[in-house]
Chains A and B, each alone.
Chain A
Amino acid sequence: MSATPVLALRGVSKRFGAVQALTDVELEVHAGEVVALVGDNGAGKSTLVKTIAGVHPIDEGVIEWEGKPVSINKPHDAQGLGVATVYQDLALCDNLDVVGNLYLGRELLHRGVIDEVTMEKNSRELLSTLSIRIPSVRIPIASLSGGQRQVVAIARALIGEPKVVILDEPTAALGVEQTAQVLDLVERLRERNLGVILISHNMADVKAVADTVAVLRLGKNNGSFPVKDTSHEEIIAAITGATDNAVTRRAGRTTEAAK
């Protein structure tokens, strides 16, 4: 893991009218690190990734890319830096085959004509280095299962050689085996030295693949834990705010008094 985070958010705030969606949020993603972004509904996870993806420009704070401050105002800016986002609705074209979908919008050309051969070759190489198994790269997306579509959508994000990949609930709506496939894939992204931001509601998934868990609560940071040394309960407590109640506050006062 490198010392300088590939992507860092410093004191980022975002308002929508009267609603303060994000307040002074900090987040760091290193190359080869999987950061799980967790939080209750409405905690600001989606808003946060949308600011990184350039859908919503930030109001205050700084986004640093490889240590240098950058401004991300459009999705195009984020893509240019090397941020790829896989949204929950995968947005694949059902009628196009796997190759067509992987290269949609950035087809390779050979003398002005779509270069199907090179595209197919690269697709097969990419899918096989990711150990993605699909029946054929030449069948339409409509014939693939939900899990296969998810891995195709993730593979599609990798075509542009990104440095940070944002996955929005990649395992929601997937069965047991498909979830395992997607988690395998997340690990392979880490092996490729990519920074991964994984939004998930599923603690088992988070514990399985993430290195760091960043908890958001009501638009603010509510702790960032190394997964290895943190228990399930501690993360849940941070998500729900269970640590912040009369008993814990009293415990805090007594320990302070004891000092």
Chain B
Amino acid sequence: MSDISKTVKPDPDQNTVAPADDPTAAPVTVVDPRLLIREEGLKGYVTEFKRKVKGGELGSLPVFFGLIVIWTIFQLQNDRFLSADNLSNISYYMSATGMLAIGLVFVLLLGEIDLSVGSVSGLASTVFAVFVVTHGMNVWLALVLTIITGVGIGALQGWFFARIGVPAFVVTLAGFLGWNGLMLWLLGSSGTINIPSDSGPVHLLGQSSFFMDQAVIGAYLLAGLGVASLLIGSLMDQRRRRAAGVPFRPTSEIALRVGALAVAAFAAAAVLNNASGVSNALVIFLASLVIVDFVLRRTTYGRKVFAVGGGIEAARRAGISVPMVRITVFAISGGFAAIGGMFFAGQTSSASLTSGGGNILMLAIAATVIGGTSLFGGRGNVWSALLGMLVIQSIQTGLDLLNMNTSIQYMITGAVLLGAVVIDSVSRKSQKAAGRA
């Protein structure tokens, strides 16, 4: 008991909020041994960390272990794996599937699944190619129309799910086949439409397009921007919380977090500069992550998504329109799938029969789950798209580097997806056992 009571953080407002005339309110400061209050300082993080892992709140832990294992294995097999050029490749190629994964985060937060994102991305690149090449449309107008197509497809699927009550799995499975069919029909007998690689968005998302034209300062500018905004945001939050008298993050913790991000960001910037710079595709992917993270955590819409994922009845009683949330979430997923399709088009400067096919869908789902967003809904964040894609793209690039056959690649991808879902299921089980799910 005594060592537990020592761990309590002094709570400045406990005395001020208790009304003086209410004798029952006074013992609020008495320490309940079950209180989840963290120790100050480094030791506190260790205790908290152990408790979380035991309780099944793995967060992004599997990702870090996974990355270390994967990078070590591939580096031992081929010493070019951890070279700057290859890491730069990983960062470029993960952006496309990563955009699909961002959309999937929304769907997974509802506890649903969208199996159509791969087909929608392929259809989007074809629609764009048809607009630009066949009809000679302005590329930026074509881009907007392509994204609108994706949003519309998603909203249509969401409508079938939310209003008609068809399980999302079936609607999007139908979409998986149907949209792929539409893409093949649009491509017709030619099979491939080549998009001029110097045209607007396709050039921007291509392999030879870099942030600030490969200026060395560019990468460091981005890293500095990220670190500075986290630092300023955390300090402002701390100040507001301190003023309001609610618990705030100690400065040591802020320093630790900002320091960790700074190390990662500047190391990545240095590596990418060593290769050829930060690709614009990666910049757009990272910017999307920041925007979506803000939407999910700080807006009422994001709160609604989490609420519907956590308890439909509770959300309904709170006045949230569940069908509206469902339709918009699928529309967002469709929109990001279309944007991802543009990224694929940028990679190859073409739309072809194989666009959006293969294992892209599985990779996007696997990335989201590996990153820590639960398949069971209500738990996760958008950074899982980034972390998961790092793992998935490392495996893909590594296998390519070792000249592995597609057959082997598929088997490994399947195993990774299964492994990710197993981790999710097991951690959910232990969360239940620890009373946290």
Chain A residues with CB under 8 Å of chain B are 87, 89-96, 100-101, 104-107, 109, 112-114, 117-118, 120-121, 124-125, 128-129, 131, 133, 135-136, 138-140, 142-143, 184
Contacts and interface: CB of A to CB of B under 8 A. Distances in A.
Contacts of A93: 306-307, 310-311, 314-315, 378
13 contacts: A93-B307, A93-B310, A95-B309, A95-B311, A104-B314, A104-B318, A106-B318, A113-B298, A128-B14, A128-B17, A128-B18, A131-B28, A143-B435
B319 A124 contact: no
A129 B311 contact: no
A85 B379 CA distance: 28
Given A95-B378, A124-B13, A135-B34, 6 more contacts: A92-B311, A100-B307, A105-B320, A113-B298, A114-B297, A129-B22
Contact of A91 (B237, B317, B378): B317
B167 interface: no
Nearest to A187: B24
Contact of B319 (A94, A101, A105, A121): A105
Contacts of A118: 244
Contacts of A135: 32, 34-37
A60 B358 CA distance: 65
- In order of increasing CB-CB distance, the 6 nearest A-B pairs are A105-B318, A95-B378, A95-B310, A93-B310, A91-B314, A104-B318
A128 B435 CA distance: 24
A226 to B, nearest CB: 26
Contacts of B36: 135-136, 139, 143
Contacts of A143: 36, 435-436
B195 to A, nearest CB: 39
Contact of B28 (A100, A101, A133): A133
A107 B300 contact: yes
Contacts of B25: 128-129, 131
A142 B319 CA distance: 21
B436 A100 contact: no
Contacts of A101: 314
A54 B315 CA distance: 18
B303 A114 contact: yes
B436 A140 contact: yes
A127 to B, nearest CB: 9
B134 interface: no
Contact of B435 (A100, A120, A129, A142): A142
A131 B435 contact: no
Nearest to A114: B298
B48 interface: no
A139 B378 CA distance: 14
A125 B245 CA distance: 11
Nearest to B297: A114
Interface in B21-51: 22, 24-25, 28, 32, 34-37
A212 to B, nearest CB: 25
A91 B244 contact: no
Contact of B241 (A104, A109, A117): A117
Nearest to A100: B303
A120 B17 CA distance: 13
Nearest to B245: A121
Interface of B: 13-14, 17-19, 22, 24-25, 28, 32, 34-37, 237, 240-241, 244-247, 297-300, 303, 306-307, 309-311, 313-315, 317-320, 377-379, 431, 435-437
A140 B318 CA distance: 17
Contacts, number: 111
- Secondary structure at the A interface, as helix, strand, loop or mixed, is loop
A121 B299 contact: no
B108 to A, nearest CB: 13
Nearest to A139: B36
A39 to B, nearest CB: 25
Contacts of A142: 431, 435-437
A112 B25 CA distance: 34
A96 B109 CA distance: 12
A22 B299 CA distance: 44
B307 A104 contact: yes
Contacts of A140: 436
B303 A121 contact: no
A141 to B, nearest CB: 8
Nearest to A103: B303
A121 B14 CA distance: 11
Contacts of A92: 311, 314
B419 to A, nearest CB: 24
B336 to A, nearest CB: 22
Most buried by B among A95, A109, A125, A184: A95
Nearest to A131: B24
B148 to A, nearest CB: 25
Given A128-B17, A129-B22, A131-B28, A121 B244 contact: yes
Contacts of A121: 13, 244-246
Nearest to B313: A91
A128 B310 contact: no
A113 B299 CA distance: 5
B379 A95 contact: yes
A96 B310 contact: yes
Nearest to B237: A117
Contact of A94 (B299, B300, B437): B437
Contacts of B247: 138
B37 A107 contact: no
Nearest to A126: B17
Contacts of A91: 311, 313-314, 317
Contacts of B37: 135-136
A129 B300 CA distance: 27
Contacts of B311: 91-95
A96 B307 contact: yes
A81 B431 CA distance: 41
Most buried by A among B300, B313, B379: B300
A139 B38 CA distance: 13
B436 A89 contact: no
A131 B24 CA distance: 7
B177 to A, nearest CB: 33
Given A93-B378, A142-B435, A120 B306 contact: no
